[in-house]
Structure 1
Amino acid sequence: MNGKEFTVSEVVDHLGVNGHTWLMFFLMIFAMIFDGYDFMVVNTTNLFVAHTFWPDNPNPGALMGSLTTWGLLGMVLGGAVGGIMSDKIGRKKMLTIAVIFYGLFTLPQAFANDLVFFAAFRLIAGFGVGSCIPIVTTVFSETIPSKQRGVFVTIGMAGMVAGWVLAGVVGNPICNTATPILGGFTNEVTYLNADGSSATMYANWRLCYLIGALPIIYGIVLHFFMHETPHWYANAGRMEEACKALNHLQRSAGQEETHFDPKLLVVPPKPAKTSPNILFSKKFIVPTAAIWTAYFVGQFCVYGMNAWLPTWFKGIGYTPSE
């Protein structure tokens, strides 16, 4: 840039919001929608899955909670690993792998007939679900100009909530359909009610997990349409590729290409390494406790209550559909 040193962030901010920004935004938001659907689908279907797995148990509440737990454990592991791996192999490659991964391992859950089989694949799929979240957040921060970043990130991360809603909107009518949607695959199930009477349903919940395998296709879309971020190229020491990526941004913004000299591209120094112990130091212990408490309560409300409330509502007289 006229013989001056420059950073990737300076170029991104200078170009502003452009076609590339919108492309990456919509690719990321759909990744989060699929991610949210894949997680919340178990809370939408767990009552019906429980009746299929334990038809002789009139109060499968505790067992229903276990259906959700395995996915959460996978998310914890995936969230810890996803960001680290994207630093090593790239945002595009890791996000594509994660999306295909959780779609691929959601598919077998549609064929489950017992907890062990379901839990194993739920745990594995959760690893991919958890991996997506830090990668998408990172891509947002590296793609969107700093002035608009807060708005774009907020709306983009709301895509996961949209996925939760979609899981309920899609799952409720499917699970409560009074006829088998996919013939013998969605088999008839006779189960006991709390009052000792028996009832029948069809295991149409299996279709919800077939739908949850759609990210396999979306992963292919990411492979062909997503671009690696110039930030990652620069941080990986691949300066020439970073400059080519910046040229692509210029074309997307309708600007004439500039010669970016790889030798003048400056990468901000990485912050000094420290250990997690600093979070519990005298300086940070209060904000650490406050943030962890708030996050715990939020996660309990979103995930924990969704796993248990269906049984409670049914116990006081509501039907599964209600």
Structure 2
Amino acid sequence: MTNKVIDIKAFIDGNRMAPYQWLTLSLCFMVSLLDGIDAATMGFLAPSLMKEWDISRVAFGSVLSAALFGFAVGALAVGPLADRVGRRKVLLISVLTFGVFNVSCAFAETSTQLFVLRLLTGIGLGAAMPTAATLLSEYAPTRIRAFLVTVMFAGFALGSGLSGFLASFLVPNYGWRGVLLVGGAIPVLITPLLFWLLPESARLLAVQGYPSAQIAKVLNRVCGSKFSADMTFVNLEPALAKVKIPLQLLFQKGYGLGSTMLWVSCFMGLLIIYLITGWLPTLITDAGYSVQEAASIAAMFQVGSTVGALTVGLLMDRFDSHRVVSLAYVLGGVCIFLLGTIIMKSAWLTVQVGIAGFFIGGGQTGLNALAPAFYPTQSRATGVSWMNGIGRGGAIAGSLIGGLLLSLGWHFGAVFAALALPAAVAAVAVLMNRRAAHSIMQETDADAANAVTQTSLVTTR
């Protein structure tokens, strides 16, 4: 097997998942879970904090939004770094960052201090998820990649739910500071485990020209293979020109249109999700339901989103992934529109909320599986992170627009009818990204065909 050329992607695609690849999925799922716990914590602590510090909802609203702004900053800033210094290093730093600053939040004495610390926590949160998704996608075979990425993102929803149980147990016994201490200590303590077990992307190492011995060592560990230092490892993808500004990588060789469409889709999807999750309980309460009933009905959106994410991931691996995600947005828009026409005291309300979450949440999570597949290794972390960073603008807009529409006197039906429009825009943008992806693929296939005629590719263990 000496003097052989190994196409890493073809090797991974041509073999079954090795135990260490499943471990990598588990580690990325753990990061997603911890991210979800820390991201949702403040919402559950709000009543205790406002009472203890005697501050208004408006004043505390800035604290709740701090992590969203931090998330956007983290995603936009760290993606290019992960493409340069490695996914593993950035992911470790990100987890440690949101853990340390979440612990620091427990010692805040004013809302201003808490705002700053939650902003810094959000930077770590925003950097961790896109980086984990990028790393996982580079060790996942194409045939099941979408499902594995959606499984990872399901950890975020699970973590958000666990955060509520954590708060319900700790607040009565240890106060809100105890929740932040525990929620931050867990990722800090997990970081050494990630340092020990988390691999670097072999595909990134090959693109960056690392020695064959180092790449062979990583592949032998993760994929259970028997490669040696006298082999040559390649990653047959479009070669992008070196640039001074990493963002320029997202606009080379036809990637500009596809990148813009991913941004539009993510922005619109998160606008819908955050408007619904942020204001649906209020709208339901205004319709005459109790606070407990409103919380239970609104929670069905998250339940539906989790089930929808896994379902969409499975379908993406079996059918045209872009069309699956686009259809999910379309059906989600229809469900949201119909949700606005339901009589609020109807027994169908709970079911309809769950179905809307199924399609909108499923489409949004599916988008996170589309993005890693769209970009080459050289710019993948930048592409995925910037999509999530721009998307956070939609999350912030959704929270603000919901409050604005309600203050203008919009009723339940009108608000949800209006949300059908961004769902349609997201669906169209996904299909336009598909066109860009197919155009790039044709060029890539031509380049790969030329490379195959010059090298002997090994794709078996």
Q: Give TM class, smaller chain.
A: 0.7 to 0.9
AA in 1 matched with 2:142: S
Q: Offset at 1:115?
A: 0.6
Q: Of 51, 55, 72, which aligns to 1:76? A: 72
Q: How many residues align?
A: 281
Partners of 1:3 and 1:264 within 8 A in 2: no
- Worse-matched range after superposition: 120-129 or 231-240: 231-240
Equivalent residue for 2:446?
none
Change (3 A) 1:72 1:290: closer
Tell me, yes or no, if structure 1 residue 9 matches structure 2 residue 5.
no
Equivalent residue for 1:51?
51
Equivalent residue for 2:377?
none
Question: Gaps (5+ residues) in structure 1?
Answer: 183-203
Is the partner of 2:72 in helix, strand or coil?
helix
Partners of 2:2 and 2:231 within 8 A in 1: no
Q: Offset at 1:48?
A: 1.2
AA in 2 matched with 1:20: Y
Partners of 1:110 and 1:210 within 8 A in 2: yes
Q: Of 126, 134, 147, which aligns to 1:138? A: 134
Tell me, yes or no, if structure 1 residue 270 matches structure 2 residue 239.
yes
Q: Offset at 1:260?
A: 6.1
Describe the superposition over 1:53-103 as per-residue Cα deviations: whole angstroms up to 9, x where unpaired: 22xx5xx22123222111111100001122211112111111111101110
Equivalent residue for 2:181?
210
Q: Of 91, 94, 101, which aligns to 2:97? A: 101
Equivalent residue for 2:220?
247
Change (3 A) 1:120 1:290: closer
Equivalent residue for 1:110?
106
Is the partner of 2:137 in helix, strand or coil?
helix
Partners of 1:107 and 1:209 within 8 A in 2: yes
Query: Higher relative CO (CA 8 A, sep ≥ 6), structure 1 or 2?
Result: 1
TM score, norm. by length of structure 1: 0.77
TM score, norm. by length of structure 2: 0.55
Change (3 A) 1:291 1:223: closer
Describe the superposition over 1:134-175 as per-residue Cα deviations: whole angstroms up to 9, x where unpaired: 101101110111111111111111101111001111112333
Describe the superposition over 1:257-314 as per-residue Cα deviations: whole angstroms up to 9, x where unpaired: 14364435345233574549x9997x99888655532331123334x449x95xx79x
Equivalent residue for 2:26?
26
AA in 1 matched with 2:272: V
| Identity in percent | 22
Question: Gaps (5+ residues) in structure 2?
Answer: 242-248, 296-461
Distance in 1 (alpha carbons) for counterparts of 2:148 and 2:250: 30
Distance in 2 (alpha carbons) for counterparts of 1:26 and 1:274: 29
User: For 1:75-224, what aligned pairs fall within 5 Å after superposition?
Assistant: 75-175=71-171, 177=172, 181-182=173-174, 204-213=175-184, 214-224=186-196
Equivalent residue for 2:198?
226
Equivalent residue for 1:235?
207
Partners of 1:279 and 1:288 within 8 A in 2: no
Change (3 A) 1:286 1:225: closer
Change (3 A) 1:289 1:94: closer
AA in 2 matched with 1:300: L
Describe the superposition over 1:182-208 as per-residue Cα deviations: whole angstroms up to 9, x where unpaired: 4xxxxxxxxxxxxxxxxxxxxx11111
* Aligned CA-pair RMSD: 3.1
Change (3 A) 1:264 1:245: closer
Q: Offset at 1:23?
A: 0.9
The runs of 4+ residues in structure 1 deviating greater than 6 Å are 278-281, 283-288
Equivalent residue for 2:350?
none
Higher helix proportion (structure 1 or 2): 2
Is the partner of 1:111 in helix, strand or coil?
coil
Distance in 1 (alpha carbons) for counterparts of 2:262 and 2:92: 35
Change (3 A) 1:109 1:155: same
Is the partner of 1:16 in helix, strand or coil?
coil
